[in-house]
Amino acid sequence: MSVTEQQSGEAPGRPARRRGRWRLVKIAMEKPELAALVLLFLLIGAFQVLSNGVFLNFNNLRGLFGLLPEVALVAIGVTLLMICGEFDLSVGSVFALMPMTMAVLMVDGWPFWVAIGAGLGLCALIGLTNGLITIRFGIPSFIVTLGMLFMARSLTVVISGGFPPRLRMDEIPAWLFVDFVGPGGLFRMSFLWFLAVAILVSLLLSRTNFGNWVRATGGFLPAAQATGIPTARVKIACFVLCSMLAGFAGMIQTLRIGSALPSMGEGLELQAVAAAVIGGTALTGGIGSILGGVIGATLIRVIDNGMVLSQIDSNWFKFAVGGLTIGAVVANAWMRKRARAMKVET
Amino acid sequence: MLDAGAPDAIISVRNLHKWYSGVHALKGVSLDFRRNEAVGLVGDNGAGKSTLINILAGLHQPDEGEVIVEGSRVAMRGPRDAMDLGIETIYQYNSMVPSMSIARNIFIGREPVLFSIGGFGILDEKRMRRESVQAIADVDLHLRSPDALVGELSGGQRQGVAIARAMHFRSKVMILDEPTNHLSVKETAKVIGFVRGLAAQGVTAIFISHNMHHVFACCDRVVAMALGEVVLDRRIDETSIDEVHAVL
């Protein structure tokens, strides 16, 4: 339908072209990630000035792009799960458990690829457990995954035996995950993995029937059930995917720093939730986008990095992320309300 | 049981029983819903109306008795089974996801896909939009864009979209669970007009309402339930609102 066609028959008042523009404004304002995107550009500009032009220089971008995939991969899984109406606080612990499992198995003589498979399998199992308990017993996933946060962290320390296992980096094709590639080595391989996962999950959510079920399940569970969607299985699939992405991200960090530490990823679960929320994902489910989660994760990395470069006391980092989270939710709620109030078409 | 229901019935239920944790919600209900008939189902809260329609919608399974659809006994395991048999249910609140577009809502659970692997596939969004526009136009609803969010529609428009969805999938039986609740007078009239027109389109309607006037305005027959049993089953022209009230 063309714009002019839509306006025919409408009460005279504002000129047609102006109403057309309002329609675009409304569509833009309904995009949940818009506020975060605007803020991202503002912050990049601010840090560029505050750091006397260091922020956007090649080496800093290289560092930024090197770290981003780790938190962003976790944020992607958490965002998907939140859109599905559930929550995962165990991702930070799974982030550490997966590479620790892999490292311990490799010390025992398992080949790298088998150890990776076992690690990811364990993540899938944790996701499955989170999902099954949440659904079977009708408990909020907040509680179930809070329990799993402690259990997975404890397991990580137990299997490490108190000492980080030594990774024989020469046996590991680490280049596949952390080598620098691209123009001048601007990106690490992990960035390509992240990009691929982001695009795939994004397409899964927006272009497939499964994505439709995820949105319906998180948007309004009774309607999803009444239309015959297997909502339990949809949720469990999202739990599993979320856990596996967290484990995969942890493995990338381990290969980057060359060692599996039991304390990796502490507090990451809340950063991931913050990233999703900053990116416009609603805590109630149904609303949000993968792009939003990625933008949210980028914002957090940019703040962390930009503050250091601007010589701001880095103890303000958490304050900034916290303020941003609250600010983003308020801004999103306000914009959604305003967009809804704009009666340009129904 | 050998009884296969009345010969002209599209749905028959025989001796349906349902217990909910000790409560005997349905006590041997037997009913026939004939083709192209609009049946009003009335009764107080707890009379068993919802239990009956939840069974017909595939949400619950009866503890005893049978459901016969077009002459054959069926065992529905979920809402999807009912939908596949041509039974669509429009709930008072539960039909639509407010945060999703009209086009997405119409096809929830039955999305057309370009190709699929193991049941998962890429949505045919062009077709979804095109058919949604058509489906909405078919029920005489005037909405400009299939991309508008259902949450932005009025209650009546939402019911309209739910009805459009049911019609689009060529349902044979449409169960409307209190579709006129919380609607304005004008929107109520529209829904009632719609139910009245269903017979002409070859659709059987089961219309649940608290409001006797709405039932008498659009149904051919009224079934009253009380305490899990059918207490009255008459043609509209053979009974009156007072008589129905008297048995409830």
**How is chain A split into domains, by residue range?**
32-336
Same domain, B74 and B183: yes
Backbone angles phi, psi at B66, to 5 degrees: -135, 155
Q: Are A212 and B111 a contacting pair at CB < 8 A?
A: yes
Give the chain B residue whose CA is nearest to the CA of A231: B109
pLDDT tens for residues A301-326?
Answer: 999 999 988 888 888 899 999 998 89
Disruptive mutation site among B106, B108, B125 for chain A (greatest number of A CBs within 10 Å): B108
Show which of B136, B170, B204 is a domain's final residue: B170
Confidence of residue A105 (pLDDT cuts 50, 70, 90): very high
Mean pLDDT of A250-279: 93
Same domain, B60 and B129: no
How big is chain B, counted in residues?
248
Judge whether B210 lies within some domain.
yes
Total number of domains in chain B: 2
Show which of B117, B139, B170 is a domain's final residue: B170
pLDDT at B30: 93
Judge whether B28 lies within some domain.
yes
Same domain, B127 and B20: no
- A254: which DSSP letter? H
Confidence of residue B14 (pLDDT cuts 50, 70, 90): very high
In the sheet with B87-90, reading across from the earlier edge strand, the strands are B87-90, B173-177, B204-208, B38-43, B221-226, B229-235
Same domain, B163 and B188: no
Confidence of residue A335 (pLDDT cuts 50, 70, 90): confident
**Which residues in chain A have Cβ-Cβ distances shorter than 8 Å to B148?**
345-346
Does A209 contact chain B (CB < 8 Å)?
yes
Show which of B138, B170, B202 is a domain's final residue: B170
Same domain, B144 and B63: no
Distance CA B133, CA B142 (A): 9
The whole-angstrom distance between B163's CA and the closest CA on chain A is: 13
Same domain, B141 and B195: no
Distance CA A69, CA B220 (A): 64
User: Are A105 and A118 spatial neighbours (Cβ–Cβ below 8 Å)?
Assistant: yes
Q: Are B108 and A220 a contacting pair at CB < 8 A?
A: no
Same domain, B180 and B73: yes
Distance CA A5, CA B202 (A): 34
User: Are B31 and B206 spatial neighbours (Cβ–Cβ below 8 Å)?
Assistant: no
Disruptive mutation site among B56, B97, B127, B141 for chain A (greatest number of A CBs within 10 Å): B97
Same domain, B165 and B210: no
Q: Are A30 and B149 a contacting pair at CB < 8 A?
A: yes
| Helix runs in chain B, H state only | 49-56, 79-84, 102-106, 125-138, 155-168, 185-198, 212-218, 241-247
Confidence of residue B5 (pLDDT cuts 50, 70, 90): low
At B21, which CATH number?
Answer: 3.40.50.300
pLDDT at A3: 37
pLDDT at A336: 78
Q: Which residue has the tokens 């996962």?
A: A197
Same domain, B166 and B176: no
Over 70: is that where the pLDDT of A344 sits? no
Residues 6+ apart with CB under 8 A from A295: A33, A36, A37, A40, A278, A279
pLDDT at B125: 92
Distance CA B184, CA B125 (A): 33
Q: Are A6 and B93 a contacting pair at CB < 8 A?
A: no
Confidence of residue B113 (pLDDT cuts 50, 70, 90): very high
Mean pLDDT of A212-241: 94
pLDDT at A16: 54
Distance CA A119, CA A108 (A): 14
Q: What is the CA radius of gyration of chain B?
A: 18
In our burial notation (b when 16+ CB lie closer than 10 A, e otherwise), range B32-56 reads bbbebbbbbbbbeeebbbbbbbbbb
pLDDT at B2: 45
- Full residue range of the structural domain in which residue B128 is found: 98-170
What percentage of chain A reaches a pLDDT higher than 70?
Answer: 93
Which amino acid belongs to residue A125? L
pLDDT at A8: 38
pLDDT tens for residues A160-205?
Answer: 987 888 888 888 888 888 888 888 888 999 999 999 999 999 999 9
Judge whether B31 lies within some domain.
yes
Judge whether B231 lies within some domain.
yes
Please identify, in words, the CATH class of the domain defined by A32-336: mainly alpha
